[in-house]
Structure 1
Amino acid sequence: MRTAWILLVVAALLELVWATALKQSHGLTRPWPTAIGLAVALVSVVVLSVSLRELPVGTAYAVWVGLGSVGVAVAGILALGESASPGRLACMALILAGVVGLRAVEG
């Protein structure tokens, strides 16, 4: 089961790559960022699907989306100058708390 959780985290980290690449694609009009974004998105989904062999789908999907969302939000703050308001940071902390909670109850 430990391997499935590691794969799930890898899949979530890949979300950070593909979402950022798609942002740089400017609406899929720039070929290289578009190709990178779509290819990494596919790899992320494949890695997620491998983790689903051992993890419940609801838990795995929530963790994948949660970690990916927080990762992309942090990347936006650090690299793209997006807002780091206290409310936004608090909401990201709540998402992380939910991910930790899911990991704790699933073992």
Structure 2
Amino acid sequence: MLNPWAILMLAGLFEIVWAASMKASDGFTRIGPSILTGITAFISFWLLAMAMKDLPLGTAYAVWVGIGAVGAALLGIMVFGDAATPLRIGGIVLITAGIVALKLA
């Protein structure tokens, strides 16, 4: 069995994929990205549930959301043309610090 932290990291990566594919689905009007959204969201939630068997609820959920938020924000900047403002970058740094703090707690 994989380490629950590894499972949680994988769940977070799938969260990034479903968030990006949801954006690409154009409000669920494009079938391919819409299907990808559903599949990867299911996988992400399932992996989160598996990680929560061994990790505290608040920690697992916050880290999962944080991974998704940071990944989606970075993907938005790199792929979707979102502005890389100092405040946005600062927010990403703060979320990352929170994820690290929860992992170490």
Relative to the length of structure 2, the TM-score reads: 0.96
**Aligned equivalents of 2:47 and 2:102: distance in 1?**
19
**Residue 73 of structure 2 aligns with which residue?**
73
Match of 1:94, as an amino acid? L
Match of 1:89, as an amino acid? I
**Residue 16 of structure 1 aligns with which residue?**
16
Instruction: Percent identity, please.
Output: 42
Number of aligned residue pairs: give it.
104
Is the helix fraction higher in 1 or 2?
1
**Residue 59 of structure 1 aligns with which residue?**
59
**Residue 38 of structure 1 aligns with which residue?**
38
The runs of at least 4 consecutive aligned structure 1 residues that moved more than 2 Å come to none
Relative to the length of structure 1, the TM-score reads: 0.95
Q: How far did residue 93 of structure 1 move?
A: 0.5
**Aligned equivalents of 1:17 and 1:95: distance in 2?**
19
SS at match of 1:54: coil
Match of 2:79, as an amino acid? A
Match of 1:28, as an amino acid? F
**Are residues 1:95 and 2:95 paired?**
yes
SS at match of 1:80: coil
Gaps of 5+ in 2: none
